[in-house]
A = this chain, B = another copy of it.
Amino acid sequence: MLNQIRAMQAEFSKSETKVASAVLSDPQQYVKATMHQLALESGVSEPTIVRFCRTLKLSGYREFRLRLAQDLASQIHYQHSQVDANDSATQLVDKVISSAISSLSKVRSQLAAEVIDAAISVISTCARIEIYGVGGAGIVVNDAQLKFARLGLNSQPYSDIYLQRVAAGLLEADTCVLAISNSGRSKDLLESIKIARQSGATIISITASASPLAALSDLHLAIDLDEEEDQLAPIKARIAHMAVVDTLAIGLAVRSKPAYLERLRQASLVLEDRFETRNRRQ
């Protein structure tokens, strides 16, 4: 709604403009204010406040304040803290899920759209994609492979460091490697990527900004999570990385229609008879 107010400047009368600028100057303050207070501080009468609300196509001040609260609420970031042994199960659920949500919010704001675009076009045109990661990232690697395979892409996951190196040595110029790592500092992974580079593969990485891995990449999807080493850190990283993979996969699916979409549809049709009564994909 704040954006709407900014956009509608032209349509406001003189006093309504006063109200608008008061609200825009410090929205937080007016979430708790009564109509009287807002009228006073913007130097207009109370009916003018009501008229201002009506100009915004709202029923009145009550709705205005509600909308303002909602507007600001979506900006408030999810706060969370360490889980400890005394937490109730409710608190446990809340902290774990909230921390996951907060890292997804970070991804949403950090992910560079142009790099996503570039990555999608590289992946959709390369002859083969291999996906590398070690440790906890192994899960993300397998997840990525599953998604890419469903799109009919020629993809291979390697979360074992020895297999990775062997595979990296065999790559060719029209292939590409998706490297996933939170720190971007795993020696083993870096070694594999160096080999892959020498083989001429295009390197796309999902990792932290100032990392050695980022430096070795042709395309770098930057994900920077908190530095702090809490118990939830690995979970946050994994959720964030998976979200990036999801974005790539969905992007590939919709960009390259109808080929991929058709393959997706078929992949689920094939499984139909393997479900009880109602049909829903696993």
Among A3, A235, A247, A280, the most chain B Cβ lie within 10 Å of the Cβ of A280
Stretch at the interface among A17-25, A42-50, A135-143: A135-143
**A: contact size bracket:** 35 or more
Stretch at the interface among A164-172, A198-206, A249-257: A249-257
Q: Residue A101 contacts which of B101, B276, B280 (CB distance < 8 angstroms)? A: B101
Find chain B residues with CB under 8 A from A235 CB.
Answer: 246, 250
A97 touches B89 (CB 8 A): no
A146 within 8 Å of B by Cβ?
Answer: yes
Q: Residue A276 contacts which of B89, B212, B243, B247 (CB distance < 8 angstroms)? A: B212
Q: Residue A271 contacts which of B69, B94, B135, B282 (CB distance < 8 angstroms)? A: B135
How many angstroms between the C-alpha atoms of A271 and B66 in the bound complex? Answer: 47
B137 touches A139 (CB 8 A): no
Q: Residue A136 contacts which of B101, B138, B255, B282 (CB distance < 8 angstroms)? A: B282
CB distance from A2 to the nearest CB of B (A): 11
How many angstroms between the C-alpha atoms of A246 and B16 in the bound complex? Answer: 44
Find chain B residues with CB under 8 A from A253 CB.
Answer: 231
Shortest Cβ distance from A254 into B: residue: B85
A105 within 8 Å of B by Cβ?
Answer: yes
Q: Residue A116 contacts which of B7, B70, B93, B135 (CB distance < 8 angstroms)? A: B93
Find chain B residues with CB under 8 A from A117 CB.
Answer: 89
CB distance from A159 to the nearest CB of B (A): 10
A282 touches B250 (CB 8 A): no
Give me the interface of A with B, judged by CB distance under 8 Å. 3, 6-7, 31-32, 65-66, 69-74, 76-77, 83-85, 87-94, 96-98, 100-101, 104-105, 107-108, 111, 113-114, 116-117, 120, 133-139, 142-143, 146, 181-183, 185-188, 190, 212, 229, 231-235, 237-239, 242-243, 246-247, 250-251, 253-255, 257, 264, 271, 274-278, 280-282
Q: Please list 11 pairs of residues, one from A and one from B, whose beta carbons are closer than 8 Å in the complex, sorted by A's number.
A: A6-B90, A96-B250, A100-B239, A133-B282, A135-B271, A139-B146, A143-B238, A182-B281, A183-B282, A229-B280, A237-B282
